[in-house]
């Protein structure tokens, strides 16, 4: 029996990064960017375009965490239902936040074109699938509101047409956001890193930031790897990765939780025509739902929260077993299909599932994309470069308060209870 690789399929099929700096971080820069995921790399590229000198300090390898481990869905729309956002924040802000996610997909497309990155970007559409018959009326309502207020590019797929979209008996209609896209996050991220390095950003891998001190001149001394660097400004772009860091203020506001993925062997053309004829991004409507899509070489990427736990070698294998069962239940045709990769990563959730970006105590930051970061992290890297240059209008999240999560001191002890609560919600609704 084959043992699936524990490596992210995207990282396994991305080229190696060749633009990294040798030696420990040293000297002076205008901006130190902490974290070499999509946020940090996109910011580095934009900061260089503005003429700033930049060092990216990455604890491991570039895109080694969430940015190289995700589902590669580059979707329009907020994590929260748009109607719920209108109810909690008012129409104007809900529209602005939804549109920020639409803009973010455009940003990804523009960067790919400008930098000539070969990453199979495709506007494939995102189909939200009603996992229970009673979810469809809610989807109908969401569709009407979106179409009327904020996204003309949505379509409703009624239950009788859902089999034209997906070859499973588990679904009861769906909502299609036609301008959502997909890409190969590994090839995209390495392309972004190479572009930033080629434009003069100093990218240091294996350079975990362990200390941050104010310099007498008003900037920062950033201790990283075996060296340190002086920076006028610092951007914290550390996502939800479980790295030891001096960023406790952020850790008390984010919950880092595992999300898990399997990748099958390549499927044959007849199976694809039967199960995924339009090769879209798919998500299910459950609270603890699944997401899936095909890769450019015809594998099925199938993911989900599976368990409320962190991602590590043991946890990824356990979650992979749950995902394999879920995939086979949804698509009995795949009962004999081999699974080649099983992996996981950490998602940075905020309490309200909206991102946060701005400045705290002299440190700039962008994070908390809550599982919608493929487009938003890239967008926020670009926007934060402008924001740090003084254009406050560049930050769509500037007016969102960000209180600490009560009782959360950095380690999410409450995850099992939250997971149980979500499971109950799925049973009840």
The site for ligand FAD (CB under 6 A) is made up of: 34-40, 57-60, 64-67, 69-73, 208-209, 237-241, 243, 245, 259, 261, 291, 303, 344-347, 367, 369, 371-375, 377
Closest CA to 316 of 67, 3, 75: 3
Helix axes 91-115, 185-198, angle to 10 degrees: 70
Least distance (Å) between residue 180 CB and ligand FAD: 10
Shortest distance in whole angstroms from residue 117 CB to ligand FAD: 16
Instruction: Find tokens 């503005």 and name the residue.
Output: 50
| Exposed/middle/buried for residue 318 (C-beta within 10 Å: 0-12, 13-18, 19+) | middle
- Measured from the CB atom, the residue of 191 and 373 that comes closer to ligand FAD is 373
Closest CB 244 distance from ligand FAD, rounded Å: 7
Shortest Cβ 401–ligand FAD spacing (Å): 20
Tally Cβ neighbours within 10 Å of residue 179.
19
CB of 286 or CB of 372, closer to ligand FAD: 372
171 touches 130 (CB < 8 A): yes
Helix axes 373-388, 38-49, angle to 10 degrees: 40
274 or 296: CB nearest ligand FAD: 296
* Cα separation, 298 vs 300, whole angstroms: 7
Q: Which is nearer to ligand FAD, 67 or 168 (CB)?
A: 67
Cβ-based nearer residue to ligand FAD, 10 or 171? 10
Task: Report in angstroms how near the CB of residue 428 gets to ligand FAD at its nearest.
Answer: 26
State in angstroms the smallest separation of the CB of 353 from ligand FAD.
12
Task: Report the SS3 class of residue 18.
Answer: coil
Output the six-digit token pair for 78: 């907020």
Pairing of strands 54-57, 202-204: parallel
> Within 10 Å of residue 230's Cβ, how many Cβ atoms?
16
Smallest distance from the beta carbon of 336 to ligand FAD, in angstroms? 25
Give the integer Cα–Cα distance in Å for 67 and 239: 9
Question: For residue 121, what are its two tokens?
Answer: 């970007």
**Closer residue to ligand FAD, CB minimum distance, 259 or 383:** 259
* Nearest to ligand FAD of 140, 230 (CB atom): 230
Give the residue among 279, 270, 327, 273 at the shortest CA–CA distance from 303. Answer: 327
Q: How far apart are CA 324 and CA 124, in angstroms?
A: 24
Shortest Cβ 71–ligand FAD spacing (Å): 3
* CB-nearer residue toward ligand FAD: 172 or 256: 256
């Amino acid at each position: 029996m084959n043992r699936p690789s524990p490596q992210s399929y995207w990282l396994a099929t991305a080229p190696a990064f060749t633009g990294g700096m040798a030696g420990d971080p040293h000297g002076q820069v205008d901006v130190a960017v902490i974290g070499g995921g999509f946020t940090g790399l996109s910011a580095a590229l934009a900061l260089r375009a503005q003429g700033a000198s930049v060092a990216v300090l990455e604890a491991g390898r570039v895109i080694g965490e969430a940015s190289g481990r995700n589902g590669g869905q580059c979707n329009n729309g907020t994590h929260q239902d748009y109607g719920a956002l209108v109810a909690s924040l008012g129409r104007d802000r809900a529209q602005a936040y939804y549109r920020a996610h639409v803009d973010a997909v455009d940003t990804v497309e523009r960067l790919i074109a400008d930098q000539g990155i070969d990453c199979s970007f495709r506007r494939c559409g995102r189909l939200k699938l009603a996992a229970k018959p009673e979810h469809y009326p809610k989807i109908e309502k969401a569709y009407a509101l979106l179409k009327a207020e904020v996204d003309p590019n949505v379509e409703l797929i009624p239950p009788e047409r859902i089999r034209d979209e997906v070859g499973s008996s588990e679904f009861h209609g769906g909502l299609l956001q036609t301008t959502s896209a997909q890409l190969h996050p590994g090839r995209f991220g390495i392309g972004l890193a190479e572009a930033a390095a080629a434009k003069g950003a100093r990218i240091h891998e294996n350079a975990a930031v362990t200390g941050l001190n104010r310099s007498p001149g008003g900037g920062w001394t950033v201790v990283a790897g075996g060296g340190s660097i002086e920076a006028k400004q610092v951007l914290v772009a550390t996502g939800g990765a479980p790295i030891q860091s001096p960023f406790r203020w952020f850790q008390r506001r984010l919950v880092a939780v595992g999300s898990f993925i399997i990748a099958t062997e390549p499927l044959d053309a007849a199976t694809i025509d039967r199960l995924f004829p339009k090769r879209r991004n798919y998500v299910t409507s459950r609270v603890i739902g699944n997401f899936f899509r095909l890769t450019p070489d015809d594998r099925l990427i199938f993911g989900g929260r599976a368990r409320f736990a962190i991602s590590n070698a043991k946890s990824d294998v356990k979650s992979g077993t749950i995902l394999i069962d879920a995939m086979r239940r949804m698509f009995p045709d795949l009962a004999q299909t081999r699974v080649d990769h099983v992996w996981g990563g950490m998602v940075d959730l905020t309490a309200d599932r909206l991102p946060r970006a701005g400045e705290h105590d002299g440190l700039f930051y962008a994070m908390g994309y809550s599982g919608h970061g493929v487009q938003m992290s890239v967008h926020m890297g670009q926007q934060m470069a402008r924001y740090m240059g003084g254009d406050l209008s560049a930050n769509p999240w500037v007016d969102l308060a960000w209180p600490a999560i009560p009782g959360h001191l950095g380690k999410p002890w409450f995850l099992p209870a939250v997971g149980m609560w979500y499971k109950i919600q799925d049973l009840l609704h």
